[in-house]
Chains A and B, each alone.
Chain A
């Protein structure tokens, strides 16, 4: 709660003393969920691309945390921000001036389709006998992390909407942190089912064949969003939007993304803020 108040205080101050964005430069902000160096390396690629396309220098800023990023977006010392779906929803909530710009898109390796979203899958062993979500009652279940969107928030929501309370109805709930560890635990029979991102599952299917199967899949989980500060002028905003959407899928940034994070980046698409409504539903926001 204290954090929230701090953010609001920061935003209030930003409102009173707006700091104008430098006229000849665009600042791209992001905050690290795990490795700041990796993130910065990819963001530099993106910055270079945008700089080339808009003719304006783009500076990459890695903030300490979410609060710093939100505050700076509100005060205009950052022009655009790279935000995960949940953090995008929070920013839109916390910074009313912030606007949706574009959505990062991925190419699903399994299907080859390019989409602005992915899904969380409830996976079990081929011979487990679990056919429906109701069969999970009394079974051992694995999420990745309480903070994870595809590894906890969406599958948890999916279970609850099907009348299963993970705290009460499951024999034991494990948190395995990483998606690939869910695969290992399933293959070892240590859990009866687990939740994980579809890309990880399809990758595992290539390696382990049909030892695993899907019981259920979640609603689409929207990909990373690019939000823009309210202080950014319309012309620059439009130029940036065009630049993002125009990024070819074989751009070094995309290759770098797949190399560093394993995401098969395919550029960006223009959607709308409504794409993130399922996030709001899952996280119980607004």
Chain B
């Protein structure tokens, strides 16, 4: 598991770091771009200020040119509207630059308009309260921004003097601040120049909302009642860069996530067999499964195509197999040892110890549940003679045959055991003495009727004792022994 995490971390971190480096580089480029933009901004601001200054200078020179000729001075003095109209018409719209002169006004010293261009026949009105007239009358000239016919305009005004001395009136030359003029001053589609004063705002770009400007700043210009403001609209290149940055950021994130997912999938696939093997072993360690189940799991794991894991699983299965073989051997040995401890080696009947245990159990049973049981103690008559005459081997064979006889002739519920030497004990549950006596008689006859090897004929004596509740086993055996003794005493081959 940790290996998986480490692998994922290694790859993921690499992808992440590469992505981060890319983004950092982009960020740096964007920062450089911003710096360039800042320089461009300052440059544009200076250029606009200079341009406005130039336009004013041009207007001023036009005003000077219209204030000097004697013809014009005399015409103004003589209220000669036509001559003044002719002169001013020649100047209006003459500039081939962005800011053409759009109004020229001649007034007398009292501020009454003597001639105006291009409105040739609009004159005789009073402009004595306007700033250009007022300022020019006072100072000899005016240069700046003032409303002309209700429109904020760049204005140059000059006093006309007869004999270069006596004022005869004022000429002013104006260029209205229109959206067109403003846009021509900036000369760039990405920069919008606006002019705002008490009368409202004029924008160089009506179509584009200035609210979208990246940056906006006042233009430092000395000539104004209102305020020029430069707004920088989003630069397409800068926009593209920002877009690219966003795109790459997203790309990096997506690549990271996809790498992570791909890693997970590949690792899952590659490590799944090992996962299964290790999982099985862990479960076994936690006692959550058994060896056979573990073996099944391993066999399933083995089905996976991974050859390495297949080999490991196969090895583990073999180990489990050999462990289970050993376990079975041990169990068999244990069973045999147990059998040896409870059965007589010669006759394979339960030995005395097993009989003792059974008697105890039967005694406990009748004490708890009531009922009865009976024991029959039997001894082969004159068996010592057999050993003496035919040898121990034959004696053993006879014993085995008697044991088989007793065993096969008894009920399945009866227990037949070797009490010792040539003595056997029968434990008959749920029977009383009378029933047992009958059975014992049948056994006595069977023994007596049997021809043993080498033609040997034998008899056996039987002593019966019925178990009494609460009686010690030894006492019961004692009574059975006495009954056997009584049978012996009665001439053997008898049931007592």
Contact = CB atoms under 8 A, between A and B. Distances in A.
A172 B81 contact: no
Nearest to A139: B124
Contact of B124 (A178, A181, A191): A191
Contacts of B78: 146, 175
B79 A184 contact: no
A140 interface: yes
A174 B81 contact: yes
Interface string B124-141: 110000000000000000
A275 interface: no
A27 interface: no
Interface string A208-236: 00000000000000000000000000000
Nearest to A144: B82
Interface string B218-260: 0000000000000000000000000000000000000000000
B114 interface: yes
A86 B79 CA distance: 24
Contacts of B81: 142, 174-177, 181, 185
B44 interface: no
A221 B81 CA distance: 25
Contact of A184 (B108, B112, B121): B121
B82 A175 contact: yes
Contacts of B124: 140, 172, 174, 185, 189-191
Contacts of A159: none
Interface residues of A, number: 19
A190 B82 contact: no
A196 to B, nearest CB: 14
Interface in A49-73: none
B125 to A, nearest CB: 7
B79 A173 contact: yes
Nearest to B116: A190
Contact of B82 (A181, A188, A189): A181
Interface in B120-176: 120-125
B80 interface: yes
B79 A175 contact: yes
Contact of B121 (A172, A175, A187): A187
Interface in A160-219: 171-178, 181, 184-185, 187-191
Given A172-B108, A174-B114, A188 B80 contact: no
Nearest to B113: A190
Nearest to A186: B121
B121 to A, nearest CB: 4
B83 A177 contact: yes
A110 to B, nearest CB: 24
A187 B83 CA distance: 20
Nearest to A183: B121
A175 B119 CA distance: 17
Interface string A3-47: 000000000000000000000000000000000000000000000
Contact of A176 (B82, B108, B119, B122): B82
16 contacts: A146-B78, A172-B79, A174-B114, A174-B123, A174-B124, A175-B79, A175-B80, A175-B82, A178-B82, A184-B121, A185-B81, A185-B123, A185-B124, A188-B121, A190-B123, A190-B124
A-B CB proximity, top 4 nearest: A177-B82, A188-B121, A190-B124, A184-B121
